[in-house]
Chain A
């Protein structure tokens, strides 16, 4: 129904099964593109274990996909019946556009190497262009030519008789919007999906300084779980996570409830409670490092007041250092949770309060037994936000303790960074980050199920 907005010419005439071959054409074309993208991201190494023949098979795969789509295209030609008409073709302009793109790509493919010095004059963008020379250029040029031919094939259809086919819907309708969304598509596919898969795959290799494809199975994971530093990281994250989750929910809710009492100066209070959230974790960590400094900070101040045996130096005590970080983390984040909760509280119907008052239920009981269950959507979202923030815990630790004393306050994110960029043990870092990914999935999948799976109860 979204299409009806812009295809005025669409008349409901069955497409006579044409879209079958069009679908094959498009599917194999896009499959080929995705495989090609994956291979250029470095996934080709996956198959190096199969020897030369295997590598060649894999490198041929996208070309095979293009060949299939070319075959499908010939069927489209025959089905349309009108043949290939360039003049008097509805989509001539579109086809010309694609042919121009193909020509540019071909030019780069052929002339890229010999003209490298010319392209180098363009600086960074010249380098990117040269990356496209050779096989890359040929492949994408082939794709563009196939699309142009496909458009020429379907362009002879009489739009007043035939409904827009699959190809027209893909390459003609809302074309500008699609072109504008290319960055999003590239990021979603190339970085978020491709990058994640890449990391997971390479966690099964023996990469040290550079990613290599020497497969070692689960060795990296076995080594990971055998390292005391990783175990400590996990324990720390678990303690920090549970405490931070519970405390920030409780504190956030209490603060929100306090602010919800129709008080004066609500804005002032909120501004004060929320300002730490504007500060970076680095700043937060450094401030609390100073406040908790045993020689000058809280401990010293209390001692100078008379309790000379007072001990409070969480940052220098291995057993409680994670709680020192927790204090800083809560200081920074609870204001934000409070804001989310407050938004949730404000969404509660005023009549609920009146009803509760009529029934004589005390306020705190109304909050806990009536309002809290009603805030379920907000609570779940808040929970997911806190949880995904906890897994990322990194800057705060770096600034506050640098993982010390010793390795007592290490966290997984720091482990990953240290292994990847300082320890020159890439695969360990990949394995550790894959474990982090796994833990996020454990949080995320139930949430996604609740939010999108169980009926359409979204407030959007």
Chain B
């Protein structure tokens, strides 16, 4: 914290001493807490760069004496789950195949829903919306099996398409809420003016709402990308071993009981799985916070 020692210049109110007791307590505790939060990430990275002999020596906190990328290669291309020994790459591509359509479909449907709810208040719409919001608090376990039946009836059980539908369904409450709240804040005069000019439902949606609400689409995308990538329950219930998403495969690799435990490979695999949401998180920054808070605080 060397920067705190720099006085902020003559401008502004009375300068406070940089090393007051209060500052030391605040910054000190924050730094200690942050270190605690960072330790697991550090341990993950350090472990994944060590060789197994070095890990057996003991200290998980010590930096690697000899950096090796072998565990990463092995986790990506060779780690075994059951009979398949092609590593996490299979799960990664499955997750991508699930992620892309799920994000697109769920955002399209939810944004249109939110738009219909916010600007075209028709009778009965709020009943559905209330059910949807309440539904988002219902434990998923209650709805797992009925959805299995529905998917089986339409022949999609176990396929990636089925999982896309499931993600669309369970993303709907939060995303609809997000879009509804945003579209409500668009001035109503704009909407009315467009109506008078003869624009219909889709005309207003594509020409006015869509261009005006790009930030909220980005927020929704962040929300969905991290949410769907991190999902485990739906992946394990609605897909088959061949189409398991990455989280499920990771769990199978690390928690498999057979063979010698290769902790470095496990940690490399864990990092690789966490990399996508972490990248999204670090790039998106404030939008991420807005995304998770938007659905939550406004209700």
Contact = CB atoms under 8 A, between A and B. Distances in A.
Interface of A: 2, 5-6, 41-42, 124, 127-128, 131, 169-170, 173-174, 176-178, 180-181, 183-185, 187-196, 198-200, 202, 211, 255, 258-259, 261, 263-265, 267, 269-283, 286-291, 293, 296-297, 300-301, 304, 331, 335-336, 339-340, 343-344, 378, 381-382, 384-385, 388, 391-392, 394-395, 398-399, 402, 412-413, 416-417, 420-421, 426, 429-430, 432-434, 436-437, 440, 443-444, 448, 451, 459-460
A46 to B, nearest CB: 14
Contacts of A280: 229-232, 247, 273-274, 277
Given A181-B125, A192-B131, A287-B270, A436 B281 contact: no
B273 A283 contact: yes
Given A128-B154, A174-B122, A301-B59, A198 B289 contact: no
A340 B296 contact: yes
Contact of A381 (B55, B122, B274, B297): B297
B237 A282 contact: no
Contact of A394 (B43, B122, B233): B233
B195 interface: yes
Contacts of A277: 292
B187 to A, nearest CB: 14
B218 to A, nearest CB: 16
Contacts of A173: 122
Contact of A269 (B34, B59, B233): B34
Contacts of B178: none
B83 interface: no
Given A124-B156, A304-B58, A434 B142 contact: yes
Interface string B228-261: 0111110011000000000100110011000000
B135 interface: yes
Contacts of A416: 141, 144
Interface string B168-195: 0100100010000100000000001001
B186 to A, nearest CB: 14
Contacts of A169: 123
Contacts of B82: none
A329 B282 CA distance: 21
27 contacts: A2-B121, A6-B195, A124-B154, A176-B200, A184-B129, A189-B131, A190-B150, A192-B132, A193-B131, A199-B142, A263-B27, A263-B30, A270-B289, A273-B37, A280-B230, A280-B231, A282-B232, A291-B40, A301-B59, A301-B61, A339-B292, A340-B297, A392-B139, A395-B233, A399-B251, A436-B141, A437-B138
Given A192-B132, A282-B247, A421-B237, A187 B172 contact: yes
Contacts of A190: 150
B133 to A, nearest CB: 10
A281 B232 contact: yes
A264 B4 contact: yes
A283 B60 contact: no
A120 to B, nearest CB: 11
Contacts, number: 295
Nearest to B143: A195
A291 B297 contact: no
A402 B132 CA distance: 32
Interface in B1-27: 3-4, 26-27
A86 to B, nearest CB: 26
Nearest to B277: A278
Interface of B: prevailing SS: helix
A304 B140 CA distance: 45
B120 interface: yes
Interface centre among B145, B153, B231 (most CB of A within 10 A): B145
B296 A124 contact: no
Given A296-B55, A399-B255, A437-B142, A176 B288 contact: no
B219 interface: no
Contacts of B233: 394-395, 417
Interface residues on B, range: 35 or more
Contacts of B287: none
A5 B189 CA distance: 11
Contacts of A301: 58-61
B201 interface: yes
Given A276-B37, A286-B270, A436 B154 contact: no
B30 A258 contact: yes
Contacts of B99: none
B38 interface: yes
Given A195-B147, A280-B273, A301-B59, A274 B289 contact: yes
Nearest to A276: B37
Contacts of B229: 280
A394 B127 CA distance: 31
A336 B298 CA distance: 15
B60 A296 contact: yes
Given A269-B34, A278-B281, A191 B156 contact: no
B113 interface: yes
A271 B280 CA distance: 12
Interface centre among B40, B139, B278 (most CB of A within 10 A): B139
Contact of B230 (A189, A279, A392): A279
A316 to B, nearest CB: 14
Given A42-B149, A178-B116, 12 more contacts: A188-B135, A195-B147, A196-B143, A198-B145, A273-B34, A278-B280, A281-B232, A282-B230, A378-B297, A392-B141, A413-B139, A417-B233
B53 interface: no
Contacts of A339: 289, 292-293
A433 B142 contact: yes
A269 B278 contact: no
Contacts of B40: 276, 287-288, 291, 331
B206 interface: no
A188 B124 CA distance: 12
Contacts of A429: 141, 145
Contacts of A286: 250-251, 254, 266, 270
A129 to B, nearest CB: 10
Contacts of B169: 187, 191
Given A176-B202, A192-B132, A199 B145 contact: yes
A300 B226 CA distance: 34
A430 B286 CA distance: 41
Contacts of A269: 30, 34
